[in-house]
Amino acid sequence: MKRNTLENFKKKAYLGDVNAMLDLSYCYHDGEVVSKNMRRAVYWARKAAEIGNPTAQRNVGVSYYYGDGVRKDEKKSFKWFKKAALNGDIYAQYYLARAYDWGEGTKKSVSQAVDWYKKAAKSKNVDAIAALAECYNNGNGVTRSLKKYVELYQQAADLGDDSCQTTLGVMYNGGEYFKQDYKKSVEYYRKATRQDNKYAQSNLGLCYRYGDGVKQDYKKAFKWFKKAVSNDNKRALYYVAQCYRYGEGIRKNKKKAFEFYKKAAEHDFADAIYELAEFYDDGEVVKKNKRKAIQLLKKSVKMKNSDAQCFLGACYHNGDGVRKSFRQSVELYKKSAKQENSTAQCNLGRCYLDGEGVKKDHKKAYEWFRKSALDNDDGQYYLAICYLEGCGVRKNLKLAIKWLKKSSDGGNKDAIKELDRILKEK
């Protein structure tokens, strides 16, 4: 914009031209041609607002809401949003709905919030559509309807809202609201990544990591995780660390993994805190520090990380870095086992088997080994022993051999040895 254009705006504004007032307000707001001056920006926006310009009214409302150029005042913000909304400004209609929804500058009114969300949604305001969707999801001011919730998110996503596209991708990935469809999930993540959505970037990376909806490709996974990190996605720091630790899509580098875990842990990600504890425990990359490892495990346990619960449980069981306590060990194993941690399930089974921290109970031991055996070779081995010795279950050599074979396939040395002994005796 040229300087003479600014002067032209000023002349027209002083003569009462509403559009010129609004343009002049934007010049001061953006610091275009003239030095940025929020007070002058609000001054000219208010001038236009008082004449009845709905855009200016909404802008004044935003200024009062955030305290830009004026002292923050939610009541005044609400007043201007209402004026603009009644004059048909769809953005103001959304802001007004939100004010009623959150009780900002006015008494909270869910019914009024829904009415205004609906008005703004009819004009295809994606923020209003998404907010209205949440109302249907939670039954907030409307009859709860998951169908309506999904329909509205679909509408907002199809209108190009990257946040809704990402959420829809999560819905298709999890199969909670739709039939699980990884390809559809990837499709929506891709749409959102075109708008540089950092959450869609990391989610797309996960799809490539696990081969969900796309051919498994660690290099592409790493690329998307790195993009998400550069876009300030804190959780993606953890995913990048995982790639470096296990050599997925990039050369294995445990030092770099440690650095990224540390960065992620600074943002209180329980998984990263747990991984850091492992590094301090094994002392491979950083100087071994059992005390530090225990501190980190306890922090991660408070955040309900199942791996940390299991690991700390083992520390109490063995008296490793803490005073030996079977009772605390069992308590932690139970918490972890409830989160389907197969190692904790197996460890809990052993506690019931040996009567450590709990009353000896072979039936409970068998039940926990059976749960653990779904994907844990130790659990498979102990389940086989239960069938072999009739521990908590009737003896069954056929089932014992079946589970010993499964455990052996997983590389369990005890299972290999026991299976070899049984087959030689047959």
Q: CA angle, corner 36, sides to 32 and 39, nearest 5?
A: 130
pLDDT given at position 3: 61
Q: Give per-residue pLDDT as tens, 145-201.
A: 999 999 999 999 999 999 999 999 999 999 888 899 999 999 999 999 999 999 999
pLDDT category of residue 425 using cuts at 50, 70 and 90:
confident
Q: CA separation (Å) from 298 to 139, 312, 403?
A: 38, 7, 35
Q: Compute the distance between CA of residue 298 and CA of residue 292 in angstroms, rounded to an integer.
A: 10
- CA–CA separation, 79 and 76 (whole Å): 5
DSSP 35-63: ---HHHHHHHHHHHHHHT-HHHHHHHHHH
pLDDT, position 426: 65
Q: What is the spatial distance between Cα 314 and Cα 325, in angstroms, rounded to a whole number? A: 10
Mean pLDDT value of segment 283-310 = 97
Whether 313 and 301 have beta carbons less than 8 Å apart is answered as: no
What CATH architecture is 337-426? Alpha Horseshoe (1.25)
Judged against a pLDDT cut of 80, whether residue 2 lies above it is answered with no
Per-residue pLDDT at 24 = 94
Token digits of residue 62: 């935003």
Per residue in 18-49, pLDDT (tens digit) is 999 999 999 999 998 889 999 999 999 999 99
Give residue 331's pLDDT: 98
SS3 335: helix
What pLDDT sits at residue 243?
Answer: 98
In which band, very low, low, confident or very high, does the pLDDT at 6 lie, cut at 50, 70 and 90? confident
Percent of the chain with pLDDT over 70: 99
Q: How far apart are CA 87 and CA 93, in angstroms?
A: 9
Per-residue pLDDT tens over the stretch 350-402: 999 999 999 999 999 999 999 999 999 999 999 999 999 999 999 999 999 99
DSSP states of 236-286: HHHHHHHHHHHTSSS---HHHHHHHHHHHHTTT-HHHHHHHHHHHHH-SSS
How confident is residue 1, by pLDDT bands cut at 50, 70 and 90? low
Which residue blocks in 251-393 are alpha helix, DSSP H?
A: 254-265, 270-282, 290-302, 306-318, 326-338, 342-354, 362-372, 377-389
Q: What is the mean pLDDT of the chain?
A: 96
Question: Pseudo-torsion of CA 393, 395, 396, 400, nearest 10°?
Answer: 80
Distance of alpha carbon 147 from its chain centroid, rounded? Answer: 23
Every domain of the chain and the residues it spans? 337-426
**Given pLDDT bands bounded at 50, 70 and 90, which one contains residue 78?**
very high
Q: What is the mean pLDDT of residues 90-118?
A: 98
For the stretch 226-279, pLDDT in tens is: 999 999 999 999 999 999 999 999 999 999 999 999 999 999 999 999 999 999
Residue that is written with structure tokens 């603009």 in the block: 84
For 263-273, give one letter per residue: b (16+ CB within 10 A) or e. Answer: bbbeeebbbbb
pLDDT at res. 122 = 97
The answer to whether 21 and 28 are in contact (CB under 8 A) is no
Q: Give dist(CA 136, CA 110) in Å, integer.
A: 12
